[in-house]
Structure 1
Amino acid sequence: MRVVLAGGGTAGHIEPALALADALRQHDPSIGITCLGTERGLETRLVPARGYELELVPAVPLPRSLTPQLLAVPGRLAGAISAAAGILDRVQADVLVGFGGYVATPGYLAARRRGIPIVVHEANPRPGLANRLGARLTEHVFTGHPDASLPNAEYIGIPLRRDIAKMDRLSLGDKARSYFGLESDRPTLLVFGGSQGARSINEAALEAAPYLRRAGIQVLHVIGPKNTVEVEPPPGDPQYVILPYVDRMDYAYAAADFALCRGGAMSCAELTAVGLPAAFIPLPHGNGEQRLNAEPIVRGGGGIMIDNAQLSARWIVETVLPILNDPERVMRMSEAASRMGRGDADVALARKVLEIASR
């Protein structure tokens, strides 16, 4: 069997695709897997690092809605569709699974041209244009959010890496803290802003650093690969560890008692899968999907939320610090977050894909 996965640009599109690839290979190591991507996206680094074949097609950015701007792209889109169709022919694809992003649109249209079954997975409650188009071309549509607005969609959750989906956060805690140079017996705050970081979160956390340290809180702060820090907290006890990027997010989750982060679909899915409560600061731009991602977790008691404009060091000290200093509350929030998690979406989606392809 030959499966082609189309999802690129950001980790939110790529990681679910790679989690599905892992689940397919776990089921049958002989399954051929090819990932479609563009030279602009993170897939150029993430896909080869996970051992999968990557084929590139031209990037054709599309607006998030049906606007006159679409009239400017037919020529470039036609070239991308032809490139994707050539890849489908060369690998003799049995099914195409799309996760959104620039590469999904030509992938869907090429598969439709070749009569290859299409599977769509949408992680967010508000689908982008690529997956809205893909959902019109197939009856096989699956979502990572129960309220996603796609016709005939089945809620299945977001495929996650096995090392996160099946992680025992508590038993891995000591090893994870040692990995980052943290002490084993201090309350620990994890700060991150998605795969690229978030300046407003970075600035507020760094300003709050002296107060967190005086309260006995140690911090693991992932600032993002393109961000810099003008003034780092001085060395001291407790630790305030700053890293540009973390490849072992399973260790980062295991090291922490609480997180301060954005509300991306992957972040929400991973935090609930491992049972890590969080303070969510949704991205203030876009279509508001990050707020929608985090709202069910907050309603269920597994997190709190604040608007980006209201985030400050004072809010962290007055709101997050008391939670970290209350182990019983942290435990209740952790249990609530766990109840929201789905750690089997990769296997469930793999079974669906195999069934559809075998027909």
Structure 2
Amino acid sequence: MNLADALHRLAPATEITALGTIRGLDTTLIAERGYPLELIPPVPLPRKLNGDLVRTPARLRESVRAAGEALDRVRAEVLVGFGGYVAMPAYLAAWRRGLGIIVHEANVRPGVANRVAARMTTRVFTGAPSVRLRNATAIGTPLRPTITGLDRPALRDKARRCFGLHGDGPVVLVTGGSQGAESINAAVTGAAGAFRAAGVQVLHITGPRHTVDVPLCGPTDPSYVTVAFVKEMRCAYAAADFAICRSGAMTCAELAAVGLPAAYVPLPLRGAEQRLNVEPAVAAGGALLVDDENFNPHWITTALLPVLTDPERISEMSARASTAGAPDADIILAHHVLAAVREQRSIATRSLE
């Protein structure tokens, strides 16, 4: 969606259709951004030898057929893929039709779909230089201008008032992603007393499926604010001095763009892939890294609170966190997409001649 917005800024007449599935937030977030959505059957690619693997070829054929029909309906000239359930069938359908294909891989460890697609095209882009992918050029991850242009100090007081936080004192933002994270929620609420004793306010985004039990604040206690979901994360970033979060590619990219230091707790699945995403920020001195199994109230009290209560340390980490940002990745990728469209049209013109 960030790329789509950038394309419309550069070329307002560009027709954009999103391919998605009923899984996740496609049907909600894409509609909110105002783009048409074509749904195709999701095809998870199993990593183990089981019944799902046996059924995958038939599912993939059906999804490729549906993706191809969608591409034909909208008269697509170029397909841009970012990986995920929708990507593999979309890549195959576009390749069969001779459409231009552009690949963007935000994660340090590429997924199966993008590894396959990188052999179909030379237009392959990544969020970080360390991504090993054929034909890859590192440009960063496309973000919204409201994120890349965020002035956290200027918006801080207003953002804190919006969430009911005090204007003074350190604020830690806690988020487990769009759906929340039970282990992060448990560890942070278990340390609620320690946060209050240290004078640290908490803005805790629990996820819409989770509830947490936090003791009520006294009239003079630092605030502990819980919300299920935040649509405008720029406000949460502006209110905070530090974050506790997973290390998905988009989260890492956004925190780098706004210069918000964090304690990253990688999702402990798929060989700890998320751990790779945060290594540049940790190496730069802008982040802490803790495994999910070790993230608990004791770690928060002994390792994190001394950082949160040290303004000079926070300031230094903020400056170092911002060194990993790439604020213009959306525009760079949009230019490549428009160049691919021009190339496709030139090929079509020559074939008619």
TM range (shorter): over 0.9
**Which of 292, 297, 304 is residue 276 of structure 2 equivalent to?**
292
**Structure 1 SS opposite 2:90:** helix
Structure 1 position 245 matched with structure 2 position 229: yes
> Cα RMSD (Å) of the superposition?
1.5
What are the superposed Cα offsets for residues 140-178 of structure 1, whole Å, 9 maximum, x if unpaired? 110112111211100011101111111111111111111
Alignment partner, residue 131 of structure 1: 114
**Structure 2 SS opposite 1:219:** strand
CA contact (8 A) 2:287 2:321 kept: yes
Between the aligned residues of both structures, percent identity stands at 56
**Structure 2 SS opposite 1:136:** coil
**Structure 2 SS opposite 1:163:** helix
Alignment partner, residue 214 of structure 2: 232
CA contact (8 A) 2:281 2:324 kept: yes
CA contact (8 A) 1:57 1:103 kept: yes
**Structure 2 SS opposite 1:62:** coil
Alignment partner, residue 250 of structure 2: 266
**Which of 263, 270, 276 is residue 260 of structure 2 equivalent to?**
276
TM-score norm. by structure 1 comes to: 0.92
CA contact (8 A) 2:20 2:38 kept: yes
TM-score norm. by structure 2 comes to: 0.93
Larger Rg: 2
What number of residue pairs does the alignment pair up?
A: 341
**Structure 2 SS opposite 1:55:** strand
What are the superposed Cα offsets for residues 50-90 of structure 1, whole Å, 9 maximum, x if unpaired? 11110101112112589996442222211211111111111
**Structure 1 SS opposite 2:118:** helix
Unmatched runs of 5 consecutive residues or more in structure 1:
1-17
CA contact (8 A) 1:167 1:250 kept: yes
**Structure 2 SS opposite 1:259:** strand
Alignment partner, residue 158 of structure 2: 175
CA contact (8 A) 2:63 2:89 kept: yes
Rounded to whole Å, the distance in 1 between the matches of 2:47 and 2:235 is 35
Residue 186 of structure 1: how far off its partner (Å) = 1.7
Alignment of 1:149-228 (within 5 A): 149-228=132-211
Unmatched runs of 5 consecutive residues or more in structure 2:
344-353
User: Residue type of the partner of 1:122?
Assistant: E
Rounded to whole Å, the distance in 1 between the matches of 2:58 and 2:196 is 57
**Which of 309, 326, 333 is residue 293 of structure 2 equivalent to?**
309
Rounded to whole Å, the distance in 1 between the matches of 2:49 and 2:250 is 26
Alignment of 1:43-62 (within 5 A): 43-62=26-45
Rounded to whole Å, the distance in 2 between the matches of 1:142 and 1:177 is 37
CA contact (8 A) 2:172 2:203 kept: yes
Residue 233 of structure 1: how far off its partner (Å) = 2.4
Structure 1 position 104 matched with structure 2 position 87: yes
Rounded to whole Å, the distance in 2 between the matches of 1:90 and 1:207 is 53
**Structure 2 SS opposite 1:177:** helix
CA contact (8 A) 1:63 1:129 kept: no
CA contact (8 A) 2:115 2:134 kept: no
